[in-house]
A = this chain, B = another copy of it.
Amino acid sequence: MTEYTGALAVAVAYHQAWTAKDLDKAMEYIAEGVVLESPGARLEGIERYRAFLGGFLPNVLGYDMLAALGDERTAVLVYRLRTALVEGSLPTVECFSVADGTIIQNVLVFDRTPYEAARAARAE
């Protein structure tokens, strides 16, 4: 198994926890004043982050990692995420800023279009 160091160790541990749907474990890596940027949304603070992540977790089916890279303060994970919301997988990126062992910022990047199309189809 790969040994990760610096920001990447924190990012990978966080990612393993949330993709295993272990919300409590995942939140151990999130800083009190975390900032999350997600397509069309920006939220601040650990309670809002927990609500956001907790709402999404039940949909997770799995992922295939494309890249896991980092240095002391920054880590990026690129993966194909499989969810119950859309068929197949969708490229998804998390770009983390880490300080003192916890995530202080997460810039989440993905295309909302397939999720919205699937939601519209379900609503028909």
Q: Which segment, of A19-27, A48-56, A91-99, faces chain B? A: A91-99
Chain B hits for A76, CB < 8 A: 67, 69, 76, 78, 93
Q: Does A40 contact B (CB under 8 A)?
A: yes
User: Copies of this chain, how many?
Assistant: 2
Which chain B residue has the least Cβ–Cβ distance from A112?
Answer: B113
Most B C-beta atoms less than 10 A away, residue of A66, A93, A113: A93
Known: A78-B93, A111-B113. 4 other contacts (CB 8 A): A93-B93, A109-B109, A109-B111, A110-B111
| 0/1 interface trace, chain A 6-39, chain B, CB 8 Å (1 if under) | 0000000000000000000000000000000101
Which of chain B's residues have a CB closer than 8 A to the CB of A78?
76, 93, 95, 107, 109
Q: Measured between alpha carbons, how far is A30 from B19 in the docked complex, in Å?
A: 34
A78-B109, A109-B109, A113-B116 are known contacts. Are A66 and B95 too (CB-CB below 8 A)?
yes
CA distance A78 to B111 in the complex (A): 15
